[in-house]
Amino acid sequence: MRRYLVGGAVRDRLLGLPGGDRDWVVVGSTPAEMVLAGYLPVGKDFPVFLHAQTKEEHALARTERKTAPGYHGFVFHAAPDVTLEQDLARRDFTINAIAEAEDGTLVDPFGGARDLGARVLRHVSPAFAEDPVRILRAARFLARFAPLGFTIAPETLALMRDMVAAGEVDHLVPERVWQELKKALEMPRPSAAIALLRACGALAKLLPEVDALYGVPQRPEYHPEVDTGVHVQMVLDMAARLAPGDALVGFCALVHDLGKALTPKDKLPRHIGHEHSGVRPLRAVCARYKVPAEFAAVAEIVCREHLNVHRIDELRPDTVHELLSRCDAFRKPQRVKQLALACEADARGRLGREEDDYPPARRLLALHDAAAAVSAGHAVAKGLSGPAVGDWLREARIDAIRAARASL
């Protein structure tokens, strides 16, 4: 029995990045021998075990064979005669197909170390085309590694286009699409994921509402980048910069301008009312991918309210109060910060505006803090009850907003 460290742990060490989970491949063993050696079986589809002390995953070397469309249609074969090279050959990218023996020797049959040095994301073999999830994984890896200079290999992009044309992405289940999209939104350059999905044709299949934004012009005095799709990519990256690893804010950035794709051509480049027309396609995206309720709720708030936040200094105190109430901000105060971050990403996700200050975010937070400091307990202390509590609370919070604004 021989074991080898594989996958992300090897890749990230070679890149000089902090290590994450350590996964191992075991060659020359059987499930019975693993159990006798003290490993704990946990795999359902193929033999995977946990080390009794470290709890690190150990999988028996295996091959796989495509038997049906989609990513569930595989038959796995694990046996003592499966070699390490055969196991590595079934992996997605060369940079993930490097193994390290316990003495530190690298086993790299597909040139993964070379591609790490060249900063290239390249598929291991034509078998890549058998699993449509790998399109999503390519997008996620590029979102993570693009800041290091990584690009997609031309032949890998061509293969991904062929997969889309063959209808492979049609077999992806919504939960898996959302899982991979959410991970991409947590990465430092999520725009790279969206750009890659668009380049291979998958964006039009998976997120046609986002794909439709490309080529839609905006007023250049407000959007020097002009193209709405380009703007959304810039907003995504600004959101990742302002709220690193926050997929909720990233999702808000992705879908905040969907209404602009619905603007009649004779009205372009103006987009009057896009904040309201964008709600319907946003809800369609959330329903299609079973987006978590809080993600969907906050994204809708951002879509509907981002123009109000941009012009918060022009809003009357009672209008600010109504905005906060629509956000359910007094019961869920975290939403105000999420709204402020997404709106700042929108304002600064524009060509030449990346380093601009964005006072409306601070003002929104300050006005909410002032209003939230007034509670129903204050009304009860005044002897009020029933509907009178709500009436008093509304007026007192509006007064607090008015006083806070005067002090800003």
Ordered DSSP codes for 198-266: HHHTHHHHH-HHHHTTTT-B--TTT-TT-BHHHHHHHHHHHHHHHSTT-HHHHHHHHHTTGGGGGS-GG
Model-wide pTM > 0.85 = yes
Residue 315 falls within a domain, yes or no? yes
DSSP per-residue string spanning 360-383: HHHHHHHHHHHHHTS-HHHHHHTT
Which uninterrupted H or E stretch holds 108?
Answer: none
Residue 277's Cβ-side half-sphere holds a number of Cα atoms within 13 Å equal to 13
Reference 250, options 191, 337, 326; nearest CA is 191
| Helices and strands (H, E) in the chain, number of each type | 20, 11
**What residue numbers bound the domain in which 319 lies?**
217-372
Structure tokens at 274: 């896009």
CA distance 46 to 31: 10
Q: Contact, 107 vs 95, CB < 8 A?
A: no
Which uninterrupted H or E stretch holds 11?
Answer: helix 8-15
Residues 31 and 108 in one domain: yes
Residue 39 falls within a domain, yes or no? yes
Residues 381 and 297 in one domain: no
Residues 240 and 267 in one domain: yes
Residue 211 falls within a domain, yes or no? no
126-162: string of b/e by CB count within 10 Å (b at 16+)? ebbbbbbbbbbbbbbbbbbbbeeebbbbeebbebbee
CA distance 23 to 392: 60
Amino acid in the structure at residue 122: R
Tens-binned pLDDT, residue by residue, of the chain (408 aa): 899 999 899 999 999 998 778 899 999 898 888 888 888 888 776 688 888 888 888 989 888 766 555 555 556 677 888 999 999 999 999 999 999 999 999 999 999 999 999 999 999 999 999 999 999 999 999 999 999 999 999 999 999 999 999 999 999 999 999 999 999 999 999 999 999 999 999 999 999 999 999 999 999 999 999 999 999 999 999 999 999 999 999 999 999 999 999 999 999 999 999 999 999 999 999 999 999 999 999 999 999 999 999 999 999 999 999 999 999 999 999 999 999 999 999 999 999 999 999 999 999 999 999 999 998 888 878 888 888 888 889 999 999 999 999 998
CA distance 8 to 46: 20
Structure tokens at 239: 């959101």
End-to-end CA gap in the chain: 70
CA distance 150 to 143: 9
Residues 241 and 367 in one domain: yes
Domain boundary pick from 69, 90, 115 = 115
Residues 247 and 292 in one domain: yes
Residues 265 and 348 in one domain: yes
Residues 266 and 358 in one domain: yes
Residue 257 falls within a domain, yes or no? yes
Q: Contact, 54 vs 25, CB < 8 A?
A: no
Residues 284 and 301 in one domain: yes
CA distance 240 to 141: 15
